[in-house]
Amino acid sequence: MKVRQAIRVADSQPSRRDTRLDKYVEQYAARASGFQVSAVRALFAVANRPEVVSLAGGMPNIADLPQFEIGATISKLIAERGAQAMQYGSGQGEIFIREKIVEVMAAEAICANADDVVITCGSQQGLDLVSRIFCDPGDVVLAEAPSYVGALSIFGANQCEVVHVETDELGIVPDAVRQAVTTLRAAGRKVKFCYTIPTFQNPTGSCQSVQRRQELIAVAQEVDLLVLEDNPYGLLGFDREPLVALRAMDSERVIYLGSFSKTFAPGFRVGWVCAPHAVREKLVLLQEAATLCPPVFSQFAIAEYLENFDWRAQIRAFADMYRERRDAMLQALVEHMPPGTTWTHPSGGFYVWLTLPDGLDSQAMLPRAVSARVAYTPGTAFYADERGCENIRLSFCYPTPARIIEGVKRLGEAIRSEQETHAIFRTERTARPGRHGAVINPAPDIN
């Protein structure tokens, strides 16, 4: 009888009507609470329309690859070694591609062994694996100001706090690194590593001189700091031979990230980490836990390319093509930007970093620029805090020179229109909340 009464009471209670869009919210891990979709990302569905000139994306132009010959090589690979190439492989990556990677890194004076290399699904996964190995929630990662948006996303996903370090035309300032480490440690904070893109940095295009690299390594040794060197653009210099990598200056303190996405093709998703022995062992264990093994077929395909094609000449051809596009962009900026606009002059890589005239906000202006049929990436994407409102990253890697010139012309018109609006209404930049701990997931087009 008591049981029946209890049932009747329960039945009489109104059923819960949950109005939340996400019914799983109570089950997520704490780290998922910071995941955010970039507002910029949503705009690129419109920006990718053919009538819009996109100067936003970091997609390499691979049209000049010998695609027919590469296709024939891959067909031969399947016919002769398909059973092996399409099977599971080593968690560290196949030995033959690791040996080829050692040859590639030698162009930047890195002396390494194939055993030092761990293959990853692009250098993006390498960033994630290194961060997961070293970082606990609340740890600090030092990064250039500004820094690569994909790295900021990973550090946020691993619940790190990014502290930006001062940069100049030569990249990260070593004295600022020293000061940041000293101040943070005095406050009881754990600084796990300094993340840097020393060569043709994303987003600014800056390149550290050999002296600047030596100074950075000296500071890292002085304060006992690990350096994470991300180097996807190092071989894509326009006017010089490749510079000596940080890894070549200190093989025990520098972890090196490399990728074939910019020097061959991004669709294969093959990158690597070159790390000290103890770190390498943990990378392999974590890679096996995450994926069992990196993509074996892609490793075979790229190894065949490196073995049978003149990859050095192909990289030089890429660099010549990107130089032509860089020159078109710089000349168009001179012709079409209003007074008060400044920009960097990169000697390699993919990007120009532009500073708007006083009072303008790159993120607020973006929808109107897209309406004017030109797209860019606002500078706010490259900071872990509210900075970057006055900056724009322009990419010259993918559009043709003619499209670049037209895109810059449209951008100049959009900036002038924004200046007129600002002069009439005296609009002010809106302060945005900091993003420490937030994970802003960029689309590949934004990277």
**92: three-class secondary structure by DSSP:** coil
Tokens coding 199: 């060569």
What b/e string do you get for 399-412 counting C-beta neighbours within 10 Å, with b at 16 or more?
Answer: bebeebbbbbbbbb
CB burial of 18-44 (b: ≥16 within 10 Å; e: otherwise) equals eeeeeeeeeeeeeeeeeeeebebbebb
The stretch 110-117 carries a mean pLDDT of 96
Instruction: Identify the band that residue 4 occupies on the pLDDT scale cut at 50, 70 and 90.
Output: very low
Q: What pLDDT score does 434 carry?
A: 46
Contact, 67 vs 275, CB < 8 A? Answer: no
Return the half-sphere exposure (C-beta side, CA atoms, 13 A cut-off) of residue 171. Answer: 26
pTM as predicted: 0.88
Chain mean pLDDT for the chain: 89
Q: Is the pLDDT of residue 206 over 70?
A: yes
348 secondary structure, DSSP code: B
84-310 shares the fold of 32-64+313-441: no
pLDDT above 70 as % of the chain: 87
pLDDT given at position 96: 94
Identify the pLDDT of residue 224.
97
The mean pLDDT value for 322-335 works out to: 98
Judge contact between 165 and 194, C-beta under 8 A: yes
* Domain limits, the chain: 32-64+313-441, 84-310
Average pLDDT over residues 93-98: 95
Q: Is the pLDDT of residue 430 over 70?
A: no
In whole angstroms, how far apart are CA 159 and each of 32, 203, 384? 10, 23, 12
Q: Is the pLDDT of residue 439 over 60?
A: no
CATH number of 32-64+313-441: 3.90.1150.10
User: So what's the pLDDT on residue 6?
Assistant: 42
Pairing mode, strands 226-230 and 191-196: parallel
The answer to whether the CB of 164 falls within 8 A of the CB of 385 is yes
Cα–Cα nearest to 350, from 122, 152, 41, 57: 57
CA-to-CA dists, residue 161 to 44, 78, 82, 380, 383, angstroms: 28, 46, 45, 17, 12
Amino acid in the structure at residue 400: T
Q: Is the pLDDT of residue 402 over 70?
A: yes
Q: Looking at domain 84-310, does it have CATH number 3.40.640.10?
A: yes
Which of 28-37, 190-199, 214-223, 317-326 shows the lowest mean pLDDT across its residues? 28-37
Residue-level pLDDT at 3: 43
Residue range 307-327: average pLDDT? Answer: 95
What pLDDT is stored for residue 386 in this prediction?
81
Q: Provide CB contacts within 8 A for 160, sequence distance 6+.
A: 131, 135, 137, 138, 139, 140, 141, 192
